[in-house]
């Protein structure tokens, strides 16, 4: 193949497939496109970087509220999504491999697989968001399920212990006491104060121990006593950050699916070969980047507070 192209180059490079007029040869074009894509990813890192900074700031201000909030995210779904995305990265990487081989059928199959996994990811996210809506943990007033009168059906009231799985809330409903759950305006709801009450008691028993941060000592209390409303506000901040981070990530997934649709169509028309496969590789870089963002989001959001349940600080 390579020598074949070499012969054509003798007549001038205008014949190379996909070569744009401003470039002298394919190598220059590939280099340019590649640097451009990496620069784009750098700006993406800075974009998410602002969010991670906000996360870090509030995590270090209110670690207990973040731990409690995190314990109510379902690590099963989060873990499943992590797995789904890692597999989708594999299919994406294989797509690039087969594009370089010029194997049209494998490209199309793998792109469809990648899109399938992307769709599964978004589906799981939809399940999780619905769950938040049902349990009144969406931080924005009016975006939660409106319940005018009701009885102790599942809502955020107890931590999910270590039972990782979709049944976590059901376990709590069986053992927990019955609350009348009413949420007429769709406001943010919070009832789990076990951990913070335990920590407050520990702090009061030993005022010199470093159990609560200074911001927590200022932020959770009214007149020296734990103020549940104030604590709830901090948990609400955690959920706000959760929704912004995962929401923006999901938006990037949607863009990625659009990109894959276009790429699949181009691959179906047999556009890519050993000489011209940069669009596949660049789309792959984007896809891997979105995956990697999730790899950071998963532990920070879902796994963060688990060790507090086991008694760690």
Partner 1 sequence: MQTQEAIRPSITDKPRQNYLTNGYTIKSWLLTKDHKRIAIMYLISVSAFFMMGGLYAAAIRLELLTPASDLLESGTYNKVFTQHGILMIFFFLIPSIPAVLGNFLIPLMIGAKDLALPRINLLSLYIYWIGGGLVLFALMQGGVDTGWTFYAPYSTTFSNTYVMLVGLGIFVNGFSSILTGLNFIVTIHTMRAPGMTWFRLPLFVWAHYATSLVMILGTPVIAITILLLALERAGGIGIFDPAIGGDPILFQHLFWFYSHPAVYIMILPGMGVISELISNFSRKKIFGYEFIAFSSIAIAVFGFLVWGHHMFVSGQSMYAGLVFSFLTMVVAVPSAIKMFNWAATLYKGSISFDTPMLYAIGFLGLFLIGGLTGLFLGAMGLTVHLTDTYFVVAHFHYVMVGGQVIAYLGGIHYWWPKMTGKMYSEFWGKISAMLVFIGFNLTFFPQFILGYIGMPRRYASYPEEMQVLNIFSTAGASVLGVGLVMPLIYLGKSLINGKPAGDNPWMLPGLEWRTQSPPPTENFDVMPVVTWEAYEFGEENGLDLEAARRRDREMASDFQKN
Give the count of alpha carbons within 13 A of 184, CB side only. Answer: 2
- Torsion on CA atoms 300, 251, 75, 212, rounded to nearest 10: 30
CB-wise, 94 or 200, nearer to partner 1?
200
- Torsion on CA atoms 218, 224, 226, 228, rounded to nearest 10: -80
Let me know: does 109 contact 94? Beta carbons within 8 Å. no
Residues at the contact surface with partner 1, assessed by CB under 8 A: 20-24, 28, 31-33, 35-36, 39-40, 42-44, 46-51, 53-54, 57-58, 61-62, 139-141, 188, 215, 219, 230, 233-234, 236-237, 240-241, 244
CB-wise, 110 or 196, nearer to partner 1?
196
Radius of gyration (C-alpha) of the chain in whole angstroms: 25
Least spacing, CB of residue 55 vs partner 1, in Å: 9
Let me know: does 169 contact 160? Beta carbons within 8 Å. yes
- β-strand partners of 147: 183
CB-wise, 75 or 290, nearer to partner 1?
290
Least spacing, CB of residue 41 vs partner 1, in Å: 10
CB-wise, 123 or 247, nearer to partner 1?
247
Least spacing, CB of residue 80 vs partner 1, in Å: 27
User: DSSP code of 178?
Assistant: P
Least spacing, CB of residue 35 vs partner 1, in Å: 5
Let me know: does 260 contact 114? Beta carbons within 8 Å. yes
CB-wise, 17 or 49, nearer to partner 1?
49
> How big, in percent rounded to 5, are the helix, strand and coil portions of the chain?
70, 0, 30
Let me know: does 220 contact 234? Beta carbons within 8 Å. yes
Let me know: does 66 contact 238? Beta carbons within 8 Å. yes
Least spacing, CB of residue 139 vs partner 1, in Å: 5
Cα gap 124→88, rounded to integer Å: 15
Least spacing, CB of residue 107 vs partner 1, in Å: 24
Least spacing, CB of residue 138 vs partner 1, in Å: 10
CB-wise, 116 or 193, nearer to partner 1?
193
CB-wise, 49 or 166, nearer to partner 1?
49
């Amino acid at each position: 193949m390579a020598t074949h192209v070499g012969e054509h180059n003798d007549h001038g490079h205008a014949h190379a497939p996909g070569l744009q007029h401003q470039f002298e040869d394919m190598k220059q074009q590939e280099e340019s496109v590649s640097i451009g894509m990496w620069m784009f990813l750098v700006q993406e890192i800075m974009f998410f970087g602002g969010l991670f900074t906000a996360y870090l700031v509030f995590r270090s201000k209110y670690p207990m509220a973040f731990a409690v909030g995190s314990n109510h995210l379902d690590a099963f779904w989060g873990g499943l999504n992590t797995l789904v995305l890692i597999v989708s990265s594999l299919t994406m990487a294989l797509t690039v491999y087969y594009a370089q081989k010029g194997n049209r059928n494998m490209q199309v199959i793998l792109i469809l697989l990648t899109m399938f996994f992307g769709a599964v990811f978004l589906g799981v996210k939809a399940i999780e968001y619905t769950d938040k809506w049902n349990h009144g943990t969406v931080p924005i007033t009016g975006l939660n399920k409106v319940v005018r009168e009701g009885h102790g059906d599942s809502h955020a009231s107890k931590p999910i212990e270590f039972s990782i799985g979709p049944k976590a809330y059901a376990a709590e409903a069986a053992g927990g006491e019955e609350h009348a759950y009413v949420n007429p305006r769709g406001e943010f709801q919070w009832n789990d104060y076990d951990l913070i009450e335990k920590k407050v008691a520990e702090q009061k028993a030993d005022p010199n121990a470093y159990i609560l941060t200074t911001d927590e000592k200022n932020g959770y209390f009214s007149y020296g006593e734990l103020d549940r409303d104030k604590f709830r506000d901090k948990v609400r901040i955690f959920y706000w950050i959760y929704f912004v981070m995962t929401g923006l990530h999901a938006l990037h997934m949607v863009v990625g699916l659009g990109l894959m649709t276009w790429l699949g169509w181009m691959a179906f028309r047999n556009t890519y070969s050993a000489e011209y496969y940069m669009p596949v590789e660049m789309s792959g870089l984007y896809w891997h980047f979105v995956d990697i963002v999730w790899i950071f989001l998963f532990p920070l959001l879902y796994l963060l507070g688990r060790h507090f349940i086991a008694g760690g600080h």
